[in-house]
Amino acid sequence: MNGGLKMSEQIKKIVENAKSSGRKKLLEHESLAVLEAYNIPVAPYFFAKDENEAQRNIDKIGFPVVVKIVSPDIVHKSDVGGVIVNVNSKDELVNAIKSIRANVQKNAPTAEVTGFLVQKMMPKGGLEVIVGGIRDPVFDATVMFGLGGIFVEVLKDVSFRIAPITKEEALEMINEIKARKILEGYRGEAPRDKEAIADIIVKVSKLLYENQELKEMDVNPVIVYEKGAYAVDARFIL
């Protein structure tokens, strides 16, 4: 398929750029661009080097937005004051970027600031899930699925498959976890779109399988609604 070649070319460019900068990890906007290359739905975003660029581009996605620091040296953005949510106007956008810059200067003075990720805040009422992948020494590309937060971190309630996988296998993965009842509409909550999650799992498995340079990844969170699911954040290790 012609598109496959094109998609991999785009990713190759991103990977080569990271390697030439001496990085083992993709930056936030690079990671989201990799997802988009495989048609994985992503919460609308753009990368801006500074306040002026952010103001120029904000009309593309509209308010409210979340603003995050983009830096190869910062792993936990919130710990250094590198994230500001509920930004609702151009003035607030400028102030948010200034505040983040000041916070980072104070809390991580040696960190290189590449720029800022400005991302549309997703509507309330979504449920967070995680889709991840690793390149296993025995099984090669392997994908993982689980519900966000405590379910993955504490309860280790996850399912795995060797990539690439079919839509049926992705739905099996979703139905294997103990917490699946939450997706099916627990205590009067609306059921979530399992088909949309399965679609993302299939695309992630293909992405990892087809791009040998990628060693580890997680799309966390994916926010799932009654209809549709959207990746908000992603992490790729080369």
pLDDT 10s digits, 39-94: 999 999 999 999 999 999 999 999 999 999 999 999 899 999 999 999 999 999 99
pLDDT, mean over the chain: 94
Q: Which two tokens stand for residue 220?
A: 């966390």
End-to-end Cα, the chain, rounded Å = 25
- Give me the percent of the chain exceeding a pLDDT of 90: 88
Q: In the prediction, which pLDDT does 231 show?
A: 98
The residue-averaged pLDDT of 154-177 equals 94
Report yes or no: 237 and 25 within 8 Å, Cβ to Cβ: yes
202 contacts: CB under 8 Å, gap ≥ 6:
164, 165, 166, 167, 170
Q: In the prediction, which pLDDT does 152 show?
A: 77
Spatial distance between the Cα atoms of 223 and 232, rounded to a whole number of angstroms:
7
pTM of the prediction?
Answer: 0.93
